[in-house]
Amino acid sequence: MKGLAMLKIGEIGWIEKDKPKCGPRDAIVKPLALAPCTSDVHTVWEGAIGDRHDMILGHEALGVVDEVGNEVKDFKPGDRVIVPAITPDWDSEAVQRGFPSQSGGALGGWKFSNFKDGVFGEYFHVNLADNNLAHLPEGMSLESAVMITDMMTTGFMAAENAEIGMGATVAVLGIGPVGLCGVAGAALRGAGRIFAVGTRPKAIEVAKEYGATDIISYKDGDTAEQILEATDGAGVDAVIVSGGGPDILIDALKMAKAGSKIANNNYYGKGVGEKDTIPLCRVNWGFGMADKDIVTGLCPGGRVRMERLADIISYGRMDPSLMATHVYKGFDKLEEALLLMKDKPRDLIKPVVLL
Ligand code: NDP
Ligand code: ZN
């Protein structure tokens, strides 16, 4: 079978591989809709998780079940499914501690295009099908449903990790597709004022649609200063970090009130200096004592999470298809879609490839 792969750091290409084999509790799935992610860009062009050779990329997919193992109960060939980007080992120790995405070690729930072939192949393998697949609701648009697999679950995770309360003031740093879902998640949790930070016009339009009340450009001067000024020096109750470089937490700490949460979505593809560090500001962090908590997370996967996010779409609370700015038809268009994600033209939020 054919797949779009990372050949080595900085290089992608089409390769041929054997069709994956199905274990007793697993499934083999054929893609129905695929989306490239900024994380694929960090993986290939920044070597963020180290070198990989001939690894099929991609972790955002809807599919049609091709084959299931003999212990799978709820799925059969021909079923249309939502495939989470994160597919934990549900019987692991990390799950019992409440951290499924970290099953098998840090980031261990992230298998596709990390330590096994991803979804950008003609077929791909899903571990624990009953726990890691969800049925695609009839009539749901593919452009919407594919956003559940990573963008919605990640952006909403930050809104949850930031513990946004009714009427809270929130800043969302970065309004690519992840940050836009952070905006939507903050609004759904009852935020009052929501600052959205970014410059791409289409993203600004969607941010407003999702509930942003104020748009801030990081290009118009210090972001934190602009937000402090707009809040008469008070700052914000919660910060969602979904963009910016390795020093973005300096901004976040400066605008965060004492007693606030900073929920990080960012995948730091590179750090600063020889020691590859992520800088914090000692003073704005209250010398380490101001109850400004930085919370991190890898996007939640699994069946129940996918089903719940699908309900958010089905019952009309959010329309994630607004983020699908570039829709391609055909498996061969994947490479173009991934390169678009790398180049990030001004009119892009997210490319989607329909098969
Ligand atoms: P995008 O590149 O599409 O969006 C980045 C956003 O950050 C843009 O709005 C950009 O503005 C904005 N930005 C750039 N510089 C700054 C700055 N200095 N201050 C504030 N905002 C800035 O990224 P995605 O939305 O696709 O992904 C966001 C991050 O989430 C990535 O690091 C990605 O790898 C990570 N991620 C993490 C996951 C997890 O499980 N934790 C899962 C999926 C993704 P502009 O409008 O000017 O472009
Ligand atoms: Zn991703």
Residue ranges covered by each domain of the chain: 2-151+299-354, 156-296
- Shortest-distance ligand to the CA of residue 85: 2
Q: Is the CB of 203 under 6 A from ligand 1?
A: yes
Asked casually if ipTM beats, i.e. exceeds, 0.95, the reply is: yes
| CA 269 to ligand 2 centroid distance, Å | 13
Q: What is the pLDDT of residue 269?
A: 84
Looking at every residue in the chain, the average pLDDT score rounds to 97
Phi/psi for 257 (5° steps) reads: -65, 160
Give the position, in ligand 1's atom list, of the atom nearest the Cα of 85: 42
Low-confidence ranges of the chain (pLDDT < 70): none
Q: Helices (DSSP H) in 15-62: which residue ranges? A: 38-45
- Tell me the pLDDT tens digit for each residue of 227-246: 999 999 999 999 999 999 99
d(CA 84, CA 81): 10
pLDDT of residue 11: 98
Distance 269 CA to ligand 1 centre (A): 11
What pLDDT is recorded for position 276?
92
Q: Can you tell me which residue has the tokens 């602009």?
A: 226
Nearest CA, atom 18, ligand 1: 244
What pLDDT digit, counting tens, does each position of 308-324 carry?
Answer: 999 999 999 999 999 99
Q: Give distance in angstroms: CA of 266 to centre of ligand 1.
A: 7
Superfamily of the domain at 2-151+299-354:
Medium-chain alcohol dehydrogenases, catalytic domain (3.90.180.10)
Report the CATH superfamily, name and number, of domain 156-296: NAD(P)-binding Rossmann-like Domain (3.40.50.720)
Quote the pLDDT of residue 270.
Answer: 85
Q: Which of 338, 300, 280, 317 is nearest to 43 (CA)?
A: 338
- What is the reported pLDDT for 135? 98
